[in-house]
Structure formats: C-alpha cells, structure tokens
Chains A and B, each alone.
Chain A
Amino acid sequence: MGGFHIVVLVKPVPDPECYDRVEIDPAAGVLARQGMPSVLNPSDRHALEEALALQERYGGRVTLVSMTPESSAETLREALAMGGDEAVVLSDRAFAGSDSLATARVLAAGIAKVLPFDLVLAGNESADGGTVHVPSQVGELLGVAHLANVIRLEVDADGSVRARTRIENGYVEVEGELPMVLGLRREVNTPRYTSLMGVLASQEKPIRVLGAEELGVDRSRVGMEGSNMRPGKMSRPSFCRKGERVKGDPEEAAARIVGILRAEGVLG
C-alpha cells in the first residue's frame, strides 16, 4: 500500500449550540461537561478533511486519535462517518484535568501505539480550551518537526512539505520533510459533508480504547497531578442592580436624585 499514514488528532467539545448551558465546576475550576452534548471540535474537521484529501490523492491510511471519555465515542463515530479508517480513544480517569502538556503526553503515547506515522494533523485549537499548545507539544514529545497556524498545505508524494503559516501581519512559507505535526487553521480548506454512505461505513470501522496502563504513561505526568497549569481561584462578578429608594417631597427627592447621579458620573 502506498501513500502516507496520517494521524488526525480529534477532540469532542461541548456543542456550541448549548453554550448557554456551559458551567464551570467551582471546586475543580474546569468545565462541567456532564450532560452536555458534544460535537467534533470544529477545527479538527479541517484537519480530517486535509488528511482525507491526501489519502484520496496518494492512498494510505488515516487514523483518528482522541483523548476523551469513552462515553464520547459516538462523536468519534461521527468523525469516522466523515472519513478515516479507524479510531483510537485514549480514555482513563487518570487523564481527567490534564492541561495542554499533560494532554500532549497522552496523545503522544497514543500515537506511539499506531506507529509508524508520516504526518500528524490537528485542529489548531479546540473550541473549549483554545490554547493552541497541543500540536506543538505533541511534535516536541514525538521528536519531529512541528508547525501551528497552518493555512495552506502541500505534500508531495516523496514526503516534501510546503506549508504557509499565519503570523500577525502576514504569513510565512515553510518547507520541510515528513514526518511532521501540523496544527491547521480553518482557512486551510472547506470540510466535506458527511454522506449517507459514510454513515453506513462508519459502523464497521474499529474504535480501540486504550487506558493509562495500555499506553504505559506515568500517572504522575498526566491528569491534574501531572499538569503544570492549574486553575486559580474563581469568583463570580455580581450582576445585581444597585437600588436606593429616595423619599421625601418631590423637590427634595429630585435634588437628592440629581446629586446621586452626579456622584455616579451619570450627569455632568
């Protein structure tokens, strides 16, 4: 079989349609995801599209890798309906509360289980975390070249790569060789729609679930314990309206109200 083995990092995130229901667990300082419907992270669809386009062009294999609770496997099935050959779910209670580096450690361990790879593609950022750290951290941990903010990608059959990355006032053209880890921005392509044939085919595609033990990760280096970044103290601003009842005869009351408004800076 020719072509590349492309690993696509995907993440189920809270459905943006339900953002009004999102709450933060005040004790843990993390999103309370229980009961929230999840969807495939929007940027990840672009990463998957790029992988599928390369697969259509050169052949090869596309593997989806996700660190997510096993209960979110349905979202992986949705991703497989769009395309890809198999999915690997990295799921363990020990992973809960991982910051971006701890997450990257788990993902790198997961990718190590599907070696050899030629290219790892990821959405540039997740809709819920949005750190833009993970693709580069995974690249460092795997010891391969990595690049984030990619807005255009060309890969030749011999594995040479030309990528354009967005910077603040323009873009940078980068050339390199596979293997690589790339974080793709949404401008890179337009994801395809999922076909009914894809939905049907996804039911037969394998989804492997691997825990901390199978991955051989050091539990002290993942999850809340293995995270350098910890949520700080949380406080909620008060949205209460300030009220004061002004009594007295109308002229006195009016003068008092004008005084209050002046003091508050409402009147000049």
Chain B
Amino acid sequence: MAELKFTQQQEILRKAVREFVEKEVKPVAAKLDAESRFPMDIFLKMGKLGFAGVFVPGEYGGAGLGMTERAIILEELGRHAAGLAMALMTHHLGVDAILSYGTEEQKKKYLPDLAAGRKISGLAVTEPTGGSDVAGQLSTAAHEDGKWVINGRKCFITNSASAEVNVITARTGEDAKGRPAFSAFIVENTAEGFSPGREEDKVGLRGSSTGDLLMNGCSVGDASLLGGEGNGMKMALALFTKIGRTGMAAIGLGIIRACLEDGVKFAKDRVLYGKPLSKLQAIQFEIARNRIDYEAARLLTYNAVGLKEGGAGADAEIAAAKYFATEGAVRAAKRTMDLMGGYGVINEYPVGRYMRDALTTISCGGTSHIMQIIVAGQTLN
C-alpha cells in the first residue's frame, strides 16, 4: 500500500495557490463574510491563474489538470475563505456539466469564457419541493415551436446572482415506466423569461451568493439542451458525486486545517497559569483531536478523489469523505472555540466564521444523513 504522496507538480501548485490565497483572499475573508458578498474581482484573478478551469483541457482554454489539483485548490481556498471556495466549487459543477455532457459546439461556445473565469457558472437542481429528492422537481420544460419553454423556481442555488451560464434541470415528460423524466439545459442569464430571484441570508459560506432562479416562460433554443433529452437526473446525480461532494469534502478539509493551525497558534501564544496553553494536557487533547480529524479527512478526501479520477464509481467513498470532512469541520471548529475560551466567541477571531461555514457545508451537496444512506446502501448491497 503506497502512502498518500502528492507529485512535485502538485506540491508546487499547492504553494502557488496558497500564496495567492494568503495575499489576496485571507485579508478580505472576514469582510466578505460580514457583508455576505461574492468577490467578483477575486474570482476574475482566480480565473486568470487557472482555478476556474483547472480540469478543463487546454483546447478549451483550461489548465488541463485534474480533480486532485482541483481538490488542492478548494482545500487551500477553504482554509481561509470557505464561502469563496463554495462559489468556485459550484462554478465547477456547471463547467463539468458542459465538459462531460456537452456537444462540441456547446463546449467551444461556453468553456473558454468559463475556464478563464470571465463568466461564472452554476448548476440549478434544488427546488422548494426538495433537493436530495431530485425526482421531486416541479419545474417543467416544454418543446414548443422549435424552442424549449421552461417554467419553475429553483432555490438554494449557489452563484444564483453571479452566474451568467446556468445549467438547469426540468421535467420534460415521462419515461417508458411512467416516471417523470428530466432534462438539462444551458440557460444564459440574458435568456427571455429568466431572472435571479431573492438572495438568502446564510449562516455561513457567505462569500458566495445563494438564492432563487426564476423561469417564467423562459425560452431557449434546441442548442441549449444538454446531454440529450431525458438524461437530466442521471447527469445531476453524477455531477453531485464527482464534483459537488468531492468539492465539499475538500472545503471541509480546508476548514479543519484552519481550526488546527489557528488552534495551535493560539495555544502557543496564550499564557495561562504562567505557561502557554499548549502545555496543558487538556488543550493538547483538543489539538490532537483536530489533527486526527484533519489526517483522516485528508486521507478519505484525496483517496476518494483519486479513485474517481481513476475511473472507479467511488460513490460510497466520496459520500464518506464528504460526511467525515464536513462533520469533522464542525467538530474541529467547536474544539477550537472551546480551547480559545472567551476569545473563541469574539468575531475579531475567525474561528466563529469557521464554525458557521462548517455548519453550512453539511447541507451542501447532500446532508450527512443522505451521505450515510449512500454509504449504508453500498455497504449492504
């Protein structure tokens, strides 16, 4: 069994991403959270450096790297600004939808701008009638006069206000067994009858915008159908796993590292009873648990990403990684707040934000209950 070891190229990439994040993102992370603001200017810079199209082949303007490199980027971003990482993660959902299921024409039309970060993307599936219950969607798309007319409301959609290229699923009929069939469409934000709706005031991950998308007689051409008629649910579920949950695991991992590193620094700096906190065994236990959660989440996440990248299904491994890393982030944030005492609940320190971000990652890409159902299902079958 080989150790988890990154290549020299991946190590250089991590350093490069870390430098950018520490200089450009860390100084404004608290402000973005306070203002609940997605920073378009930083996203553009990330696009120029290749973050937005990390796994997009060079022929479509991407960096031509893979999912492990993507996870490294999200971990490093998540270390200081999980909300912005969430916006990038969701952008990748829309990008991969087009890359994996689009026609050559669609790839050439959309990917260069999306890979360069000049335009933002997103994937809109969840509706008031359910997110994890994908079949509960009520939005419809009807083929009328050579066009698709979409009606419905999507909710809790990340990048709702900023995405110019949306991938949206809607009911387009029934399958042979009479079950609802769904299709996916590429809907530009300039499409007739399309508009972003209300924006949510979230508990955490506030560096990304989240809200409704409204389709009121939204009319798009045949060229907007993505991945063939009736394949929308299959595509959405595959994207949730390959892009969504791996991404959330990496972001959770970044939050755990934030708690670990900040906890160690505080424990060494803060003097109590005449010596640093780090000399107290009770505090050492908290640091040890954070380290253990980090190591375990790191192994689960990069192993699951590597399995998927290698062509395995890895649904259970990815669900386990998402479950463990996001729940681990909540545990690590709680421990770090505990060891910091009064300072832990002062907003001058970022640990309160880590806690709110960690709590918010749980529901993104499927709750912890859903993750356990996936793991149990794979294990029992």
A193 touches B20 (CB 8 A): yes
A202 touches B12 (CB 8 A): yes
B8 touches A77 (CB 8 A): yes
**Residue B54, interface by CB 8 Å:** yes
Contacts of B45 in A (CB 8 A): 193
CB distance from A192 to the nearest CB of B (A): 9
Give residues 61-90 of B contacting A (CB, 8 Å): 63-65, 69
CA distance A71 to B117 in the complex (A): 37
**Residue A154, interface by CB 8 Å:** no
Give residues 1-24 of B contacting A (CB, 8 Å): 8-9, 11-13, 15-16, 19-20, 23
CB distance from B11 to the nearest CB of A (A): 8
B13 touches A74 (CB 8 A): no
CA distance A9 to B23 in the complex (A): 25
Given contacts A197-B63, A198-B16, 14 further A-B contacts (CB under 8 A): A78-B15, A78-B16, A193-B16, A193-B23, A195-B50, A196-B13, A196-B16, A196-B54, A196-B63, A196-B69, A197-B64, A199-B12, A199-B13, A202-B12
A81 touches B63 (CB 8 A): no
Interface string of A174-206 (1 = CB under 8 A from B): 000000000000000000011111111011000
Contacts of A199 in B (CB 8 A): 9, 12-13, 16
CA distance A197 to B51 in the complex (A): 10
CA distance A136 to B257 in the complex (A): 44
Closest to B10 in A: A199
What are 26 A-B residue pairs whose CB atoms fall within 8 Å in the complex? A74-B11, A74-B12, A78-B12, A81-B16, A193-B23, A193-B45, A193-B49, A194-B12, A194-B15, A194-B16, A194-B19, A195-B16, A195-B48, A195-B50, A195-B63, A196-B63, A196-B65, A196-B69, A197-B50, A198-B16, A199-B9, A199-B12, A199-B13, A200-B9, A202-B9, A202-B12
Contacts of B12 in A (CB 8 A): 74, 77-78, 81, 194, 199, 202
CA distance A202 to B15 in the complex (A): 14
B50 touches A196 (CB 8 A): yes
CA distance A199 to B16 in the complex (A): 8
CA distance A111 to B93 in the complex (A): 49
CA distance A81 to B12 in the complex (A): 8
Report the 4 A-B pairs with minimum CB-CB distance, sorted nearest first.
A196-B50, A194-B16, A196-B63, A195-B49
Known: A195-B49, A195-B50. A200 touches B16 (CB 8 A): no
Contacts of B48 in A (CB 8 A): 195
CA distance A223 to B48 in the complex (A): 43
Contacts of A202 in B (CB 8 A): 9, 12
CB distance from A201 to the nearest CB of B (A): 10
CB distance from B14 to the nearest CB of A (A): 10
CA distance A193 to B49 in the complex (A): 8
Interface size class of A (residues with CB under 8 A): 10 to 19
Closest to A40 in B: B15
Q: Give how many A-B residue pairs fall within 8 Å (CB-CB).
A: 51
Closest to B11 in A: A74
A74 touches B8 (CB 8 A): yes
CB distance from A227 to the nearest CB of B (A): 33
B19 touches A193 (CB 8 A): yes
CB distance from B148 to the nearest CB of A (A): 36
CA distance A194 to B50 in the complex (A): 10
CA distance A194 to B64 in the complex (A): 15
A196 touches B51 (CB 8 A): yes
CA distance A202 to B16 in the complex (A): 13
CB distance from B195 to the nearest CB of A (A): 34
Give residues 55-87 of A contacting B (CB, 8 Å): 74, 77-78, 81
Contacts of A77 in B (CB 8 A): 8, 12
Contacts of A81 in B (CB 8 A): 12, 16
CB distance from A52 to the nearest CB of B (A): 15
CB distance from A178 to the nearest CB of B (A): 31
CA distance A193 to B44 in the complex (A): 13
Contacts of B20 in A (CB 8 A): 193
CA distance A196 to B76 in the complex (A): 14
Interface string of A200-227 (1 = CB under 8 A from B): 1011000000000000000000000000
CA distance A199 to B65 in the complex (A): 10
CB distance from B110 to the nearest CB of A (A): 20
CB distance from B18 to the nearest CB of A (A): 11
Contacts of A200 in B (CB 8 A): 9, 63-65
Contacts of B54 in A (CB 8 A): 196
CA distance A204 to B19 in the complex (A): 23
CA distance A196 to B72 in the complex (A): 12
CA distance A203 to B63 in the complex (A): 14
CA distance A194 to B45 in the complex (A): 11
CB distance from B176 to the nearest CB of A (A): 45
Closest to A73 in B: B8
CA distance A67 to B58 in the complex (A): 35
CB distance from B325 to the nearest CB of A (A): 23
A203 touches B9 (CB 8 A): yes
B15 touches A196 (CB 8 A): no
CA distance A195 to B64 in the complex (A): 12
